[in-house]
Amino acid sequence: MKIKPIIFILSALLSWNSFSQNFYDVDNIREIKLYFTQPNWDHLLDSLYLDGLEERLLASIEIDGSTYDSVGVRYKGFSSVSINTVKNPFNIKLDYIDNNQNHEGFEKIKLSNVIKDPSFLREVLSYEIARDYIPSPRANFANVYVNDSLWGLYVNVEAVNDKFTNKHFSTVNSPLFKCNPSGLNLQPSGENSNLSNTHGNDSSFYYDYYDLKSANGWNELYTLIDNLNNSSNNLDNVLNIDRALWMHAFNYTLINFDSYVGYSQNYYLYKSLSNQFQPILWDLNMSFGGFRLTDATQAYFNGFDISQAQSMDPLGFLTNSFLSPRPLITNLLDDSRRQRMYLAHMRTIVEEHFSNQNYISRAQYLQTLISNDVQNDPNKFYSYNDFLDNLNSQVTIPSSICPGLLQLMDARTTYLSNYWSGFVQPSISNIQTLPNSNQFFGGDLTITAQIQDASYAMLAYRFGENMPFANEQMYDDGNHNDGAANDGLFGVIINNCSNSIDYYLYADNSDEGVFSPKRAAYEFYNVKTTINQASLVINEVMANNVSTEMDETGDYDDWIELYNNSSTPISTNGLLFSDNPLNLDKWDLPNVVINPNSYFIIWADEDGNTGDNHANFKLSNLGEQLILSNSDSSIVDAEFIYPQLDDIAYGRSPNGTGSFTMLAPTFNGNNTPTANENIFSDNSFYAFPNPFKDNLKVSEKDYYITNALGQKIYSSKFETTINTSSWHEGLYFLHFYNLQSTVKLIKIK
């Protein structure tokens, strides 16, 4: 999340009401009505659950007055489901039969029954806090009816699926794992989804411990496991370490131990554009100390009481070891600098939500919002008085005691504040970039900051979301455009800069670390400039893609290929693309970097739900103008695209610099064929080069050639080399009499 200028923040606040009305708006309690035709629907759902099947029962549904037929319903969860319970959690698939059916763009609805939370607040409040620091689902409340009978108040949690990953990571269909084992092992030796390599070096050995939610990804998961356990120096390439530290900071601050901490479950892993796995929090219904069965360490494996939860040492596992491996914690936090980063994240959470009592205001607001609905819930697991009391005080639940939110967190806030009260915290201020004008593209950029009480400082930067943040140490030595040595001004020089740079700063001493911005790397600073004409070009276009290339969802859509002609990485952040000269800012390109002599594909299909590289317009097969521009409307490249036949591209030849001509598609590749490229062959016949210019060679002597209209323009029984200099550019077909075969040919300028 980029830090925005204050004027845009104020604008967003003033427009809050216009943007906040959505299915997961926490201020509105949804109304969801399920209708089953089978009178024994509950028995049927019980049976599907007991059989361990993920099959669904057909139903119709009404959501806030909108009706949908043929949805699929099953129970969700593990410990929250019981055949002896009336109010079970629901997993509802709106597109179960109709692939295009959704509500406000959402195809799946997940409803938690609040079985472990007398306060009804834990899940909604926890996700709200988490969303400030890491990509996390949204959640609100919903009154659920079954066959017009009120079933109760549920928590409505956004699913982690393609829609979620597209929103937060700009992609779909990348490896996605729900880290919950097929059978939860509650023994001290139970590893569950802990990312250890205990099971061996074959990815198939891990099938029972992780739930694959994408088409593929097992090899990538094992690569993560192998690096996490054996190659920590290479771990940055496959794991977003900072995001894992935020997840741990959140879990230990809020005592959310029904997570990776306790039985190593209830989180997701998604492989993003940067090729790093991103941890995602899930199932927060037992946060705020609601789950106190274990923290998986020797001291607390059999459980801990409320006072122990209040004073849980965030680094206690360093001396009080885990009973089963927890490499995502232990192997990350065996480094003292990462320990300080982790504690800095905890301090940010505490200061922004707990020390200032903000969580109390939010909890009281939510309690008032749902008070009448909880009172009217006919199947709630606790009394209305328990609901009121659990905000402040502990409530007895089966086999345990659930601490009050304020009871736990006021004491925990005091404990954590005292934990680092004696530390000397560094400070970062007065961040500057030089040059501060549009002069750094392809050159050097210096970033400086006033940093006090630090022995180490670092700048983390990237040119686009498809690359991880790279770390560069900052110096106060007088040699990095940082003024005089030891004057408190630290500097770093970035060479061969892209036109857009995302960055954040970190500094520490032996006591403590600090980030700027404090929510880094979820939030970051950005500086960008314009790029010159011809540095990034429209290189190839296909407006009639019938069978050449499929997008991530298997569709043959129009596509546009950009090519970086320069020797500098170019970011698409801040660039605009349009097919209308009167509306240059029709579509904002995503924040990705294109390396020198590399390509970037834009799918022109009006389908932004399948990734940020899908434009909000389609191409006309009658021809049209395409314009690539900077945010200041200066033109980077503009081309008129002529009509094309099926599966014929229109692109530059030579690649990147030449004029446009019809050619055989070279999706995401060089338009200029080498001598051995583009030979059409089935081991019986061939023609080359293809595309061709002035000469064409064929393998057989008995053939004829037709143009795109089917008119015969050439034939021979003797020649294998043809002079084609007088032919018009375009599409031709080579027919071999004896082989009864045809080859598609392309003539270019």
Domains and CATH numbers, the chain: 6-162 (no CATH), 166-335 (no CATH), 358-419 (no CATH), 427-528 (2.60.40.10), 536-663 (2.60.40), 680-747 (2.60.40)
Residue 246 backbone dihedrals phi, psi, to 5 degrees: -65, -40
CA dihedral 627, 628, 629, 631 (to 10 degrees): 110
Give the pLDDT score at 32: 98
Residues 467-494: tens digit of each pLDDT: 999 999 999 999 999 999 999 999 999 9
Give the pLDDT score at 45: 94
Give the pLDDT score at 7: 31
Kindly indicate the confidence band of residue 739, based on its pLDDT and cuts at 50, 70 and 90: low
Burial class (CB in 10 A: 0-12, 13-18, 19+), 489: buried
* Least trusted range by pLDDT, from 171-180, 448-457, 685-694, 704-713: 685-694
Give the pLDDT score at 740: 63
- The Cα 537–Cα 627 span in angstroms is 10
The token pair at 196 is 């250890």
Greatest alpha-carbon span in the chain: 98
Chain CA centroid to CA 540, Å = 28
DSSP labels for 38-97?
A: STTHHHHHHHHHHTT----EEEEEEETTEEEEEEEEEE--STT--TT-SS--EEEETTSS
Angle at 121 between CA 117 and CA 126, to 5 degrees: 105
Average pLDDT for 559-569: 95
Residues 604-626: tens digit of each pLDDT: 998 888 888 999 999 987 788 99
Helix (H, G, I), strand (E, B) or coil at 252: helix
438, 632 Cβ separation under 8 angstroms: no
Sheet with 614-615, edge to edge strand ranges: 614-615, 599-604, 558-564, 536-542, 649-653, 659-663
Kindly indicate the confidence band of residue 679, based on its pLDDT and cuts at 50, 70 and 90: very low
Give the pLDDT score at 701: 79
Give the pLDDT score at 675: 41
H or E element in which residue 525 lies: strand 525-528
Give the pLDDT score at 59: 97
- For residue 181, say if its preceding peptide bond is cis, omega within 30 degrees of 0: no
Give the pLDDT score at 438: 66
Give the pLDDT score at 476: 97
Give the pLDDT score at 126: 98
Q: Which residue has the higher pLDDT, 17 or 721?
A: 721
Sign of the torsion formed by the C-alpha atoms of 646, 651, 654 and 660? positive
- The Cα 626–Cα 414 span in angstroms is 60
Looking up tokens 């079970």 gives 88
Give the pLDDT score at 721: 86
391, 51 Cβ separation under 8 angstroms: no
Chain CA centroid to CA 307, Å = 37
Chain CA centroid to CA 727, Å = 50
Give the pLDDT score at 742: 74
Q: Reply yes or no on whether the pLDDT at 643 is more than 90.
A: no
Q: Which residue has the higher pLDDT, 266 or 641?
A: 266
Q: Reply yes or no on whether the pLDDT at 6 is more than 70.
A: no
- The Cα 79–Cα 400 span in angstroms is 15
Give the pLDDT score at 712: 85
Q: Reply yes or no on whether the pLDDT at 16 is more than 60.
A: no
H or E element in which residue 560 lies: strand 558-564
Residues 330-365: tens digit of each pLDDT: 999 999 999 999 999 999 999 999 999 999 999 999
Average pLDDT for 287-294: 93
The token pair at 475 is 């110096």
Kindly state the percentage of the chain with pLDDT values over 90.
72
Average pLDDT for 89-101: 96
Average pLDDT for 568-593: 93
Residues 684-703: tens digit of each pLDDT: 456 777 778 888 888 777 88
CA dihedral 322, 325, 327, 330 (to 10 degrees): 20
* Residue 125 Cα distances to 218, 357, 434, 506, angstroms: 34, 13, 42, 29
H or E element in which residue 293 lies: none
Kindly indicate the confidence band of residue 683, based on its pLDDT and cuts at 50, 70 and 90: very low
Burial class (CB in 10 A: 0-12, 13-18, 19+), 532: middle
Looking up tokens 């593929």 gives 216
* Least trusted range by pLDDT, from 45-49, 260-264, 475-479, 707-711: 707-711
Other residues' Cβ atoms within 10 Å of the Cβ of residue 586: 15
Quote the DSSP letter at residue 469: P
Q: Reply yes or no on whether the pLDDT at 527 is more than 90.
A: yes
The token pair at 476 is 């106060």
Helix (H, G, I), strand (E, B) or coil at 239: strand
DSSP labels for 173-228?
A: SS-EEE---SS---STT--TT---STT-S-GGGGTTTSEE-SS--HHHHHHHHHHH
Helix (H, G, I), strand (E, B) or coil at 322: strand
CA dihedral 92, 96, 102, 107 (to 10 degrees): 50
* Least trusted range by pLDDT, from 28-42, 112-126, 241-255, 665-679: 665-679
- The Cα 563–Cα 576 span in angstroms is 15
- The Cα 239–Cα 224 span in angstroms is 7
**Nearest to 336, CA basis, from 516, 520, 512:** 512
Q: Reply yes or no on whether the pLDDT at 407 is more than 90.
A: yes
- The Cα 279–Cα 196 span in angstroms is 15
Counting every residue written for the chain, the total comes to 749
Give the pLDDT score at 686: 64
Q: Reply yes or no on whether the pLDDT at 427 is more than 60.
A: yes
Give the pLDDT score at 681: 40
Give the pLDDT score at 646: 82
Helix (H, G, I), strand (E, B) or coil at 106: strand
Q: Reply yes or no on whether the pLDDT at 26 is more than 70.
A: yes
188, 151 Cβ separation under 8 angstroms: no
* Least trusted range by pLDDT, from 83-97, 205-219, 514-528, 674-688: 674-688
Q: Reply yes or no on whether the pLDDT at 240 is more than 60.
A: yes
613, 601 Cβ separation under 8 angstroms: yes
Contacts (Cβ under 8 Å, ≥6 apart) of 328:
194, 195, 228, 244, 248, 260, 279
Sign of the torsion formed by the C-alpha atoms of 227, 232, 235 and 240? positive
Give the pLDDT score at 223: 96
587, 576 Cβ separation under 8 angstroms: yes
- The Cα 267–Cα 284 span in angstroms is 10
- The Cα 361–Cα 666 span in angstroms is 58
Give the pLDDT score at 54: 78
Residues 161-203: tens digit of each pLDDT: 999 999 999 998 899 999 999 889 988 888 999 999 999 999 9
Give the pLDDT score at 406: 98
Quote the DSSP letter at residue 497: B
- Mean pLDDT computed over every residue of the chain: 90
